Amino acid sequence: MNALGQPQSVLLVGGSSEIGLAIVERLVRDQTRRVVLAGRPSQRLTAGAERLAQEGAGVDVVPFDAADLNGHPVVVEQAFAGGDLDVVILAVGLLGDQLAAEQDVAQALDIVQTNYTAAVSIGLLASQALRAQGHGTLVVLSSVAGERPRRSNFLYGSAKAGLDAFATGLGDALVGTGVHVLVVRPGFVRTRMTAHLKPAPLSATTDMVAEAVVTALRNRKQTVWVPGTLRFVMSALRHLPRAVFRRLPV
């Protein structure tokens, strides 16, 4: 961190994530100069790295496959090999096809393992590395879908519910170590992953999420909702009787 508390280095796990890249781009505009992108080799990953380099950041790319749990320690080791990292953003996610996955266990497990098992694996490893260096923030991209899973995407929602519980518990476990955990709960975000879906009320853009995360980092928040009004909406929905909630067009 510099004298103003601004991150100088960041690791994005899920290096082609549109939300993740929007956050990193916002940080780079605020003087972050070292970026590590961990993701599957792809045109999107390459384009993201080039765009950040044009913004003035030094960018390293580390191959990362969420499904390869045995390879996760190597990914974290390579990412931290260049020195301390101020921020690690965990943007591992897969929406999947709910109806198809209900009929195909392999698809269902892919959704759950990507959104939860892989995220827990890389999240624990990253938090250990941050703790070893004595400082840093782990940003975990959760979702309001985990607040109360809906019929339309309960596989994704249940995995995000688990991830959210993991992240909040990890944050409590790391109090006093110098490592901070920020849990991000966006609603519907207009991205490539959701392009085929009808936008929900209180939808957000990637830039809105990025602005909220950077502000939360600056203020050392533990949780941030995007948009903020979703906190109150989900509080109400959580307490609706199940029979009523089931009838809602969500």
Question: Catalytic residues, which ones?
Answer: 156
Evaluate whether 72 touches 125 at the Cβ level (below 8 Å): yes
Rounded to 5 degrees, φ, ψ at 172 are -65, -40
CB 124 within 8 A of CB 74: no
Compute the C-alpha angle 35/38/41, nearest 5°.
Answer: 120
Q: Could you tell me the two tokens for 76?
A: 């974290």
The residue to which tokens 């979703």 are assigned: 230
CA–CA separation, 227 vs 187, rounded Å? 7
Map residue 4 onto helix, strand or coil. coil
User: What three-state secondary structure class fits 144?
Assistant: helix
State how far Cα 193 lies from the chain centre.
Answer: 14
Residues sharing a CB contact under 8 Å with residue 228, sequence separation 6 or more, in sequence order: 212
Show the beta-strand stretches assigned E in the chain. 9-13, 34-39, 58-63, 87-90, 136-141, 179-186, 223-226
